[in-house]
Amino acid sequence: MNKFYIQTALFLLSIFAYANNEILATEPALGENTKPQLRSRYPTSEEVYEKNKHLLCTNPEETKQAEKLMNEVVKHLEYHATNNDGYKVYIRDRGDGISYYKKKHDDQTYILKINLNIYASSQYNDIINKLWDPNTPNTFNNGSVKIAHVYNPNLVIIQQRYGKNYRGNQKYFYALATKAEISEGKTIIAMTSADINDYNPSKKEYKNTIIENANLFKSNVNPDGDIQNGELDNLYVNLAGYLIEKKGDDLEITYIESINGYSTI
């Protein structure tokens, strides 16, 4: 069992443990005629927005372009999450509802797909909030995350940093991230990198090989000193995110990842 497989198993255990603990914590006192309510410990997108509103973009044209781009990214993520064309089994379902797939897009870019089926449809909103919250550890794509730019409660630019490797090097990326409700009981969280000026002195150019229009979107973020000094290596997100969907009593979570310079497994 590799490290990532263990992380995924722990992710599932954390969901069930969370549900049990929260239900117990909210059970009414003996004799009260009320049903226990599941209490979320994760902030909603509106609460995250209020906390970061000082980073709001004041350029209406940039906001419009960001919304247009991310509408396209959502469609790409939904396609890859629901279409098995070209995907090959990487690790088969071992009876725990987890399947892993990989494909090579246009013979040049690898895309990872992980599918989870869990008995947790009642936790739909809480899991969405968990995955959207930048302060919550992310099993699939771990590291530290902060919001660098805000367009609206469901559209932001994030910075994600990974821990240092054995050589002491550290990697990071900037990406636009959006949350979109496709239909009742079906939500997508999608990310892609664009031409975001973070003042890294590196002259290396990155091109999005899946979302070509991402290469046309430009934005600036306030520089971090270590990035501005060239101390971190830049990564580039072609496409990443989640499809979260209710299916009866089950919840299906599909994770898509294509990051230039990094792979979860």
Closest CA to 150 of 72, 69, 225, 50: 50
Is the predicted pLDDT of residue 218 greater than 80, yes or no? yes
Q: What is the pTM of this model?
A: 0.85
Ranked by mean pLDDT, which of 18-32, 86-100, 109-123, 180-194 comes out on top? 180-194
Is the predicted pLDDT of residue 3 greater than 50, yes or no? no
The domains found in the chain, sorted by start residue, are 3-260 (3.30.530.20)
SS3 125: helix
pLDDT of residue 94: 65
Considering only 3-7, 51-55, 57-61, 114-118, which range has the smallest mean pLDDT?
A: 3-7
pLDDT of residue 178: 98
pLDDT of residue 8: 52
Count of residues making up the chain: 265
Is the predicted pLDDT of residue 232 greater than 90, yes or no? yes
> Amino acid letter at 145?
V
Residues facing residue 188 across a β-bridge? 180, 243
Average of pLDDT values for 53-67? 97
Is the predicted pLDDT of residue 239 greater than 50, yes or no? yes
Closest CA to 260 of 150, 174, 159, 137: 174
